[in-house]
Chains A and B, each alone.
Chain A
Amino acid sequence: MINVSTAVPNDNLIVERQSSILVKGGQRKNQLKCDAESIAGCVSQRACVYCGARVVLNPVTDAIHLVHGPMGCASYTWDIRGSLSSGSELYRNSFCTDLKENDIIFGGEKKLARAIDELVEKYESELVFVYSTCVVGVIGDDLEAVCKTAAHKHGIQVLPVQSSGFIGNKSAGYRAACDALLRLIEPPGGARPINSRRPVKSVNYLGDFNLAGEAWIIKDYLKRIGVEVNVVFTGDSNYRDLKKAPEASLNIMQCAGSMAYIARRMEELYSIPSLQISFLGLEDTAASLCKIADFFGEPEMMRRAEELIKEETIAVQPEMGRYHEKLAGKKAAIYVGGGFKAISLIKQFRELGIDVVMVGTQTGREVEYQTLHDISDDGTVILDDANPSELERFMTEKGAHLLVGGVKERPLAYKLGVAFIDHNHDRKHPLSGYVGAVNFAREVYSTVCSPVWKYARETGGGLYAVENSELPER
């Protein structure tokens, strides 16, 4: 077992990668290198700017999401995220200018203008997002100008999203999306605080994309304690609701990776303060509800929050207890998009008695890595932008029973005989709040304790190993 801090012994690791991996040990400070560019020639799990922008904006249900570029970028993002809508389903279509060779040579502006015209005519939408892709960034189409002309012509909002893939990683895409959102919510006559019209206890809920209906669960909790959700950024949101965003009295923020920037800007522009909250796991959910009630400073609200917490906790305890019994002592590895989610997951695993032996993110920020480092147990491997061989190596070395990750990690885990949970957009059950905590525990249990591992792990899938099943106990 490795006990030293900083770098990990190098075999099979790319030299440049060593500073992106560390094992928690005696050292005080986290010195992990993060947010660096990926190295050419690595099997990186990272995505691009456009991907990040699309993640944030896609849940706006009644917008026309038009990808300006070749078909591929659009087809891979066609309805792959499970954000649910209570209204329009327009966002689930795939619109693309499908640039061809001629457009690349002579520019794609005319085609883009035509595409907007045609789509606006077909679908009654008041909002178009136009995403730029790498090629558009290189050929230099003036998205801004085309969008402006189109907006004028149709009397609707047409917003460019500057998301050419090569200008950075996914975080840059979050920012591009937030810039578009900021333009969208700006009232006529410019941004300014709107104190007078602000309903007293209404919040914007930032960084929930309503995957599997998660935002609905939280909306319900907040309603029960007397807080109205003004609009969610961006799960199940629409043009009209987003326009009202400046009227809220508080921003609460679930996914900081994508939303910290817009929260800060809204504070500057509209004097809306923000709170970082998390509705993942029992502990964080309870703390977050109290934090919100505390902000509004109303004893009645706090009373209702405490009551809700008590009620819900009692309701889920028996089931959580059963899972805890089965799962205590198991080991989990985490590889997710943002640092904040990783932090929440560690706590959530603790609630189930599971040790986290490896934790990594695609785009975690330095502060988040600091927290990860602080809350991790000694010996936990912490890594930024991992590649599959690193994931494999540390999962095997640490004897993980379970990996939490995204679509590309699932088959990798399975091949290693390791159970898997999708905590990304392929998730199928809501994982937020009390309901979510139970779903999470159930999902962990159903995969970790599935009978399939009897065949997959002990016998390695093959007949030959039946006689010879002496593989190490995991």
Chain B
Amino acid sequence: MLDCTPKEIIKRSGGMINPAKTCQPIGAMYAALGIHNCLPHSHGSQGCCAYHRSHLTRHFREPVMATSSSFTEGASVFGGGGNLKTAIKNVFSIYNPDVMAVHTTCLSETIGDDLPSIIKGAEVPEGKLVIHASTPSYQGSHITGFSNMVKGMVTYLAKATRDEKKEQVNIIPGFVNPGDMREIKRLGGELGVRSIIFPDTSGVLDSPMIGKFNMFPAGGAKVEDIRDSGNSKLTIALGYYASSDSAHLLERNCQVPAITLKTPIGIKATDDFLMTLRSKFVQEIPNQLEEERGQLVDVITDNHHHFYGKKVALFGDPDILTGLTEFILSLGMQPVHVLTGTPAGTLTGSGIFEKEIKEMLAAAGHEGRVKAAGDLFELHQWIKNEPVDLLMGNTYGKYIARAEDLPFVRVGFPILDRGVHSYLPIVGYRGAMRLVEMISDTLLDRQDRDAADEDLELVM
């Protein structure tokens, strides 16, 4: 009954049906929550802010604090400068964060509020900071918004204060769950490399129960660390779309060399991440990580016969998909449809999403449909025209999964109908092992469900 999608594909030009992306400010809000003691602020009407908070709350199942400029008709005619100044005053006097991270909305962008000069003219208490990012949603997606807010952090905070760089690495983890950020941090720690991770929502959006409500939980990247990122020897941007712009900005502003890697999903991308750290910081790979990698390869070997030749449709955010496609291929499965809602071009370049994924598919001897700036209506049509054995993506995939009766693995953002996911990683070797478990469980549960009595097997 939920299947309203016709099979025949007709070209459309009048907007989206069932989006595979959302708007910039929510990404900016998420990034800002990855600074310790920071309050995100939405410069626009209060509806946007309420939606972004609700949406993040549904995904993380954690309180999400943010303030709004609460535009009314007056502000939208005469500009929101007055509202923002009042907001800055109120935010520091009431909530007292160290940092207030302002992002714009479609409305304030369209009106044309000049944030840097409004902020300059505002009363900011001694020792407190206001940073900002411009995040109009008629460009890009939530990933762009995340990237823009991280650029804001670099612009406002990062400083090169010495000639010689320190033996430390900056890691920009991209739009991934706190569980992933935690794992990336752990990998750096296992290697013994001092790393500055920002933004870092671990300890903020996966915070433990302590019996009371903390407006500002214990986690998040410290301001002094983000400042010090200007003195690091290297920045690793994990994910081209969410992270590379800010890494390059840091390179320009503070002469910290930047390198962009894939989000470390799967064996190869994790190898690349660790080997990059090793080659720049001349450390041995510790036994612990050797062992984890070995376990992962072992697990894949034990289970590869379940995966071979299975056709998969993937959708979600571009950086996640790039890593995931590579990993899916390494399991012997065949990604036949890969779609993101995020437009491929970034503000600084034409984008690499389609090309990179197509090359990976070609190298594995496959062909597939790959598209940026698509929507789930289109993905559904693709699947109707070329069926798959497995669907992977965020919660919104459940309509397609049901309509086409497909096994479905939830991964990415947002996941609104299942819990726990944001605590556990999909990055690193352990994250990959978790993915292997999720995928094989889903496929095998399905096989069990569909098996006739006489075909039901105990040992699989």
Question: CB within 8 Å of B: which residues of A?
Answer: 12, 14, 37-51, 66, 69-78, 89-90, 92-101, 103-104, 111-119, 122-123, 133-135, 137-139, 165-169, 388-389, 392, 406-408, 410-412, 414-417, 455-457, 459-462, 465, 471
Contact = CB atoms under 8 A, between A and B. Distances in A.
Nearest to B205: A411
Interface in B152-205: none
Contact of B54 (A14, A116, A407): A407
A76 B55 CA distance: 7
A40 B83 contact: yes
Most buried by B among A47, A74, A122, A134: A134
A76 B94 contact: no
Nearest to B77: A138
A43 B110 contact: no
Interface in B116-138: 136-138
B47 interface: yes
A178 B197 CA distance: 50
A74 B213 CA distance: 31
A137 B116 CA distance: 25
B354 to A, nearest CB: 19
B45 A456 contact: no
12 contacts: A40-B90, A43-B67, A44-B50, A48-B46, A74-B16, A77-B51, A78-B396, A94-B18, A114-B13, A414-B209, A415-B63, A416-B213
A134 B50 contact: no
A64 B377 CA distance: 15
Interface in B51-78: 51-55, 57-58, 61-73, 75-76
B149 interface: no
A76 B18 contact: no
State which size class the interface on B falls in: 35 or more
A75 B382 CA distance: 21
Contacts of A412: 63, 213
B50 A47 contact: yes
B286 interface: no
A461 B210 contact: yes
A42 B64 CA distance: 13
A388 B65 contact: yes
Candidate in A50, A74, A165, A406 with the most chain B CB atoms within 10 angstroms: A165
Given A40-B84, A412-B63, A69 B106 contact: yes
B53 to A, nearest CB: 6
Contacts of B215: 388-389
Contacts of A93: 4, 17-18, 377
A166 B21 CA distance: 24
B209 A456 contact: yes
B13 A38 contact: no
B11 to A, nearest CB: 9
Contacts of A49: 47
A48 B107 CA distance: 13
A111 to B, nearest CB: 6
Nearest to B54: A407
A459 to B, nearest CB: 8
Nearest to A417: B211
Interface stretch (B22-30, B235-243, B296-304): B22-30
Contacts of B87: 40-41
A94 B17 contact: yes
B16 A71 contact: yes
Contact of A411 (B6, B22, B61, B139): B61
A414 B58 CA distance: 14
Nearest to A38: B70
B70 A70 contact: no
B322 to A, nearest CB: 22
A445 to B, nearest CB: 22
A97 B137 CA distance: 13
A156 to B, nearest CB: 16
Nearest to B142: A72
B134 to A, nearest CB: 13
Given A70-B137, A166-B45, A410 B90 contact: no
Given A39-B86, A408-B57, 17 more contacts: A42-B67, A47-B46, A51-B47, A70-B136, A70-B137, A72-B24, A92-B399, A100-B139, A117-B14, A134-B76, A138-B76, A165-B107, A169-B46, A389-B95, A406-B54, A411-B61, A465-B211
Interface in B6-51: 6, 12-19, 21-26, 41, 44-51
A180 to B, nearest CB: 18
